[in-house]
């Protein structure tokens, strides 16, 4: 089974700040979560395929061996529409979702392109995801998939990033908030389509790997992409346990620190520690209410969490 390196940024202009709660990853290698993806075989000439890419530019998956590609061997055809669908049931009464994936693109600029749409009524009506996001000033991003994670595009730069030729692997990330995701939404459907015109250029098309779809729930998250952080139990009465998990490679003896602040900004506790787990003690005499936990690694904030003391 291949290793997965998923980096996602959660930034939402919402009345509450949100964090990833529950996510599914489709790697195209282990068979997991494939029931949340469907290639539309009813379309004549649909060229989306899952397998090992063997093209001039698409010569390998992001994490080998497999990816989803507009044909794993041949260039994309003329006047083509190819579609596949993703969906995520709202099992947690979430406030929104994250859509995240790695991709390469190699096609004629603007005349051939990829498009992402979403539906809140199980495919009866579709909306352009990036256009809707821009209308609500939602921060979607595209970055290089390797360090130093230089920003290439954001929602102020372009409405059609899935065209032309990428310089290697890019990372697409978008939080999808409840301003156009009404509470009570049963399932969100995503339609990812590739469109080509009548000019033959023998290019590779669009390729994606390591697709992630995640629920968003009420909480607090920093703009950090490398870490998953939990503090439990929450709400708490006495002690709680802080766990830190890196989605990328991590030194098991890496140094961390945490600070706990009251809602008025008073520092209540702090400690340096190593490893990915620490027990936070000494809060049993604190007043009931809301507190904020800030976690650092090498003086860089890697996450925050809202704590409830009862």
Answer yes or no: do 124 and 94 share one domain.
yes
d(C-alpha 23, C-alpha 173), whole Å: 14
108 or 130: which leads in pLDDT: 108
Q: Give the structural domain span for 232.
A: 227-309
**pLDDT tier for residue 163 given thresholds of 50, 70 and 90:** very high
pLDDT, one tens digit per residue, over 126-147 is 999 888 777 765 667 777 776 5
Answer yes or no: do 64 and 200 share one domain.
yes
**pLDDT tier for residue 18 given thresholds of 50, 70 and 90:** very low
* Mean pLDDT to the nearest integer, 211-219: 65
pLDDT of 7 above 90? no
* Residue 51, pLDDT score: 98
- How close are the terminal C-alpha atoms of the chain, in Å? 43
Answer yes or no: do 235 and 105 share one domain.
no
* Domain at 180, CATH number: 2.60.120.260
* Residue 215, pLDDT score: 67
The reply to whether the predicted model has a pTM over 0.85 is: no
- In the chain, the number of structural domains is 2
pLDDT, one tens digit per residue, over 229-246 is 888 887 788 888 888 876
pLDDT of 224 above 80? no
* Residue 303, pLDDT score: 75
The DSSP string of 171-221 is: EEEEEE-TTSS-TT--EEEEEEEEE--S------EEEEEEEEEEEEEES--
> Can you read off the two tokens belonging to residue 91?
């099992």
Task: Name the domain boundary from 187, 218, 249.
Answer: 218
pLDDT of 29 above 90? yes
DSSP H helical segments within 101-179, as ranges?
129-135
d(C-alpha 271, C-alpha 213), whole Å: 34
């Amino acid at each position: 089974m291949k290793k997965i390196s998923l980096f996602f940024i959660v930034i939402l202009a919402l009345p509450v700040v949100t964090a990833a709660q529950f996510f599914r990853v489709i790697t195209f290698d282990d068979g997991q979560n494939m029931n949340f993806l469907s290639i539309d075989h009813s379309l004549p000439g649909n060229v989306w395929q899952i397998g090992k890419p063997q093209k001039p530019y698409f010569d390998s998956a992001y994490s080998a061996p497999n990816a989803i590609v507009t044909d794993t061997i041949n260039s994309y055809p003329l006047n083509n529409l190819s579609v596949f669908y993703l969906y995520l049931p709202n099992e947690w009464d979430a406030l929104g979702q994250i859509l995240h994936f790695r991709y390469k693109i190699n096609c004629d600029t603007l005349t051939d392109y990829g498009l992402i749409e979403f539906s809140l009524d199980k495919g009866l009506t579709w909306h352009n995801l990036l256009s809707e996001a821009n209308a609500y000033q939602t921060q979607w991003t595209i970055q290089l998939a390797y360090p130093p994670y230089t920003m290439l595009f954001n929602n102020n730069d372009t409405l059609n990033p899935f065209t032309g030729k990428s310089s290697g692997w890019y990372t697409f990330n978008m939080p999808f908030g409840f301003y156009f995701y009404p509470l009570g939404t049963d399932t969100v459907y995503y339609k990812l389509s590739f469109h080509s015109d009548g000019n033959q250029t023998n290019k590779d098309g669009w390729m994606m790997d390591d697709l992630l779809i995640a629920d968003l729930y009420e909480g607090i998250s920093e703009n950090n992409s490398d870490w998953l952080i939990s503090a439990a139990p929450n709400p708490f009465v006495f002690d709680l346990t802080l766990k830190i998990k890196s989605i990328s490679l991590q030194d098991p003896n890496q140094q961390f620190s945490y600070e706990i602040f009251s809602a008025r900004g008073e520092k209540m506790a702090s400690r340096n520690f190593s490893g990915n787990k620490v027990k936070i003690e000494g809060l049993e005499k604190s007043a009931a209410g809301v507190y904020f936990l800030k976690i650092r690694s090498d003086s860089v904030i890697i996450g925050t969490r809202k704590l409830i003391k009862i």
